[in-house]
Amino acid sequence: MTPFLAQAATEPINRAELLADDPLWLILLKAVVVMLIGPIFTVALIVGERKIVGRMQNRPGPNRVGPFGLLQSLADAIKLPFKEQVIPDTADRKIYFLAPVIAVVPALIGLAAIPFGGEVTIFGEPTVLQLIELPVSVLLVLAGASIGVYGIVLGGWASGSPYPLLGGLRSAAQVISYEIAMGLSIIGVVLYSQSMATSGIVAAQADGGWYFYLLLPSFVIYMISMVGETNRAPFDLPEAESELVGGFHTEYSSMKFAMFFLAEYSNMVIVSAFATTLFLGGGMFPFFGADAAINQGWWPVLWFLAKMCVVLFGFIWLRGTLPRFRYDQFMKLGWKVLVPAALVWLLLIATVRALRNAEGVSTGQILIIGGVAIVVVVLLMLLIPEKEIPDDEAAVTTTGGGHPVPPLDLKVPETTPRQKALEAKRRSEEKRQAELSPSTAGSPGAPGAGSKEGESHGDL
């Protein structure tokens, strides 16, 4: 085993020991700060997003409240809780109330495992800028994400109307499929750093190089699935405005709606912080060693937040740039592209790892073997015959632009299978109704007096 790996393994234990020494007031202080990061970033992000998307679309964005409109989300945050709560009659009330809470709480917990920086002294107490240090803190973040989705799914279900239900269903399917890709991309990092502790991963990157270029496929897959996991554009299918009104939060108003908002933006913050930790070297400033003054004390917090903001800007950029995916395309991307790619990449990493761990295999040999493998794969791909495009003889005549036009003697069929089915359904229903109430089954109100007609026109 190479020396830096051994160090990466011991690093989290030292941090864990330091954290275990924390007095209660320090733990409470850290917990409060970690919990506040989510809401504060939410407030800042909403204004930032509206301003940035506005500039991308050649308009100023919010510019009324405060200097440059910077206080807009504060005004919104005050407004929202005081708005009227509308609860649909068909809602399952208990779950309807519970859903926003379930969405928010894991979103606030997730940041606990993120190492914001190294060793510092707070009021004379040496500690580490991290709330908890677990041997499996990577899993803590994943678990938080998987619980948070319950809020969306249940909110959609409990609203008791079809659009939210569709949004909830989409969200459930989306999370199940994209969590697999996300987990597989994280496994690459874990294999490479030989640690499942977030601080161990950061330490391994400080010594061996950042993983966003060492494990580029993992990084790309994580970035894509991270957007899918947080329901952000272009993957915001659970709340697709053009299809589902508001998706899962259609029936939510007032504070509960605000909580869904908070959950969404906090989740963005968490996945960005997680991406920074896993792939962008955590709080490390590049080009200097971990012992440089710029990487000591409170400086890493600044670098960490800066990297996080870059990732968050990426979220907003995506939203301003890309149109929403169609649902089947989205699923296809997840299952047929991301998951297989992640699996193949994982196999590759595991092979390289095994070869490296084995004695007497040099880097040159690995490269030669890899090169031969690539050549063989390319040669094999040449053997695959090209796809033949069938020449359709019975094609519809097209205009010069290639657009099909109807023939002059077009015959539209009188009945189609669907019409027939609908007719049969209608008949059977009429029959059933007639059986149910033979006495009341009269003639369906004949086209009657003008006064009645005038009345009933009103509700059109």
Q: Which residues bind another protein (CB under 8 A)?
A: 12-13, 16, 92, 95, 134-136, 139-140, 142-143, 145-147, 149-150, 153-154, 156-157, 160-162, 165, 168-169, 172-173, 175-176, 179, 190, 196, 395-396, 404-407, 410-413, 416, 418-419, 422, 444-451, 453-454, 456-460
Of 388 and 459, nearer to another protein (C-beta) is 459
Neighbouring CB atoms inside 10 A of 264's CB total 22
- Give the residues across from 124 on adjacent strands: none
Of 84 and 328, nearer to another protein (C-beta) is 328
Residue 21 C-beta: closest distance to another protein, Å: 16
Nearest to 69 by CA among 42, 54, 53, 47: 47
Of 60 and 429, nearer to another protein (C-beta) is 429
Q: How far is CA 290 from CA 71, 204, 208, 210, 299, in A?
A: 38, 11, 11, 13, 12
Residue 323 C-beta: closest distance to another protein, Å: 17
Of 45 and 108, nearer to another protein (C-beta) is 108
Cβ neighbours for 290, distance < 8 A, ≥ 6 positions apart: 203, 206, 207, 284
Residue 169 C-beta: closest distance to another protein, Å: 6
Residue 263 CA to its chain's centroid (Å)? 12
Residue 20 C-beta: closest distance to another protein, Å: 12
Residue 399 C-beta: closest distance to another protein, Å: 12
Q: Which helix (H) or strand (E) holds 120?
A: strand 119-122
Of 293 and 395, nearer to another protein (C-beta) is 395
Of 284 and 339, nearer to another protein (C-beta) is 339
The answer to whether 153 touches 166, Cβ cutoff 8 Å, is no
Q: How far is CA 427 from CA 1, 376, 402, 433, in A?
A: 77, 65, 43, 10
Nearest to 142 by CA among 80, 184, 104, 100: 184
Q: How far is CA 460 from CA 445, 448, 454, in A?
A: 18, 18, 11
Residue 26 to residue 151: CA distance in whole angstroms: 31
Residue 77 C-beta: closest distance to another protein, Å: 30
Residue 453 C-beta: closest distance to another protein, Å: 6
Of 13 and 26, nearer to another protein (C-beta) is 13
**Residue in the structure block whose two tokens are 């890899």:** 370
